Amino acid sequence: MSTVVESGSGEPPEPAKQRLSFSGSGSEYFGIWLTNLLLTIATLGVYSAWAKVRRLRYFRGNTWLDGHAFDFHGRGGRILLGRLIALALLAAFQFATSFGLSFGIAGGGLLLLAAPWLAIASLRFRAHNTSYRGVRFEFEGRYAKAFPAYALWSGLSAVSLGTLAPYASRAQQQYSIRRHGWGGRSFDTSVSVPELYGAMCVVAFAFLLGGLLAFGGGMFLGGVFFEDGGEPSPESAAFIGFVIGLVIYLPILWGLLFYRASVWAETVRDAGFDAGRLRFSTDFDPGRMAGIQLTNLFGIVATLGLFAPWAAVRAARYRLESLELTGDLETLDLEGRGAASEAAAGEEIGGFFDLDFGL
């Protein structure tokens, strides 16, 4: 429920604050996850679309704000159709590359041009199938506005070998958030490029650290195993290759996870709703989130995948419970409380593509 901070005599009370909470648990989600896994295997992957609906419904339904839970209304059949169409597009791209490099480049260019449309479809589908207090979220996007964010900046980031990635991240996040709405009111955010370049510096350091550790570890292990100057055994060579790959991969993976978490943190840190009447804040730590995701990966590998439900709940709880909303939702004159059918019809072509652009 809302928390109103009382102030001194004659002063207006401070705005109400509501922190998001997550009530799910790994043990509870394990049953859903295991059922989804077994049915997906039994149906050769066909059930995976319905499994995703169950997963999203569980996580939305256990996300709470001001005493009310979110909900997800998507349908597995539309997700399955979207995956089949996406698979056909990828197959067409692979077929084009078989005719030569020029065809592959042309196909890649067409996919890049299609990226804004796919982003709009995905974001609209997710928004229109998520509700809070009986009101579905909205997404209003147009290709012309999405093109710079999802095609132009993505292409520039690729040709610059990632040096322009912060600009691409800012363009995509601001486009996405500013076109979302709820109850006839819109969201807003401002992403700091300098902050994202700071995160890029951390990524660069992680890459450098991985290289240094690999070099030093390789020299040390080489001295230990090959000190007699003989030829290495296949087992020794394989072990050294595994260790070197591990020490390279772990810092780099942590750095990439850190950057992704930093983008999310910068997106929500100064986000607002209804022309700033409600503001979001967060104590989210990208380094901690990267550590959570990395240890989750270790747990999943060590348990042959059985830790996956606890890993998903652990990451979701930290991300969601770091968010706080300042302002009173009860004062909003919401539109669309009876417009669920209109929002449901708004799935349109968005339901064909079940892509996640990392909101």
Rounded mean pLDDT of 221-238? 63
DSSP 3-state of 185: strand
Angle, alpha carbons 146-149-154 (nearest 5°): 130
Rounded mean pLDDT of 71-88? 86
Higher pLDDT: 327 or 64? It is: 64
Q: What pLDDT does 81 receive?
A: 84
Which residue carries 């790994």 as its tokens? 26
Count of H helices and E strands in the chain? 12, 11
- Predicted structure pTM score: 0.83
Average pLDDT of the chain is 85
Which residue carries 């009876």 as its tokens? 338
Q: What pLDDT does 342 receive?
A: 38
Rounded mean pLDDT of 60-78? 94
Q: What pLDDT does 286 receive?
A: 97
Q: Is 336 left (phi over 0), alpha (psi -120 to 50) or beta?
A: left
Q: At what angle do helices 234-269 and 286-302 cross, to 10 degrees?
A: 140
Rounded mean pLDDT of 107-136? 88
Give the N- to C-terminal CA distance of the chain in Å, as an integer. Answer: 25
- Give Cα separations from 176 to 83, 141, 203, 220 (angstroms): 22, 8, 24, 49
Copy the structure tokens of residue 292.
């959570």
Greatest mean pLDDT among 78-87, 109-118, 287-296 lies in: 287-296
Asked whether residue 332 carries a pLDDT value surpassing 80, the answer given is: no
Residue 33 host element (H or E): helix 26-42
Copy the structure tokens of residue 41.
């295997």
Q: What pLDDT does 354 receive?
A: 45
Q: What pLDDT does 84 receive?
A: 84
Which residue carries 């509700």 as its tokens? 131
pLDDT tens sequence across 29-64: 999 999 999 999 999 999 999 999 999 999 999 999
Confidence category of residue 101, pLDDT binned at 50, 70, 90: confident
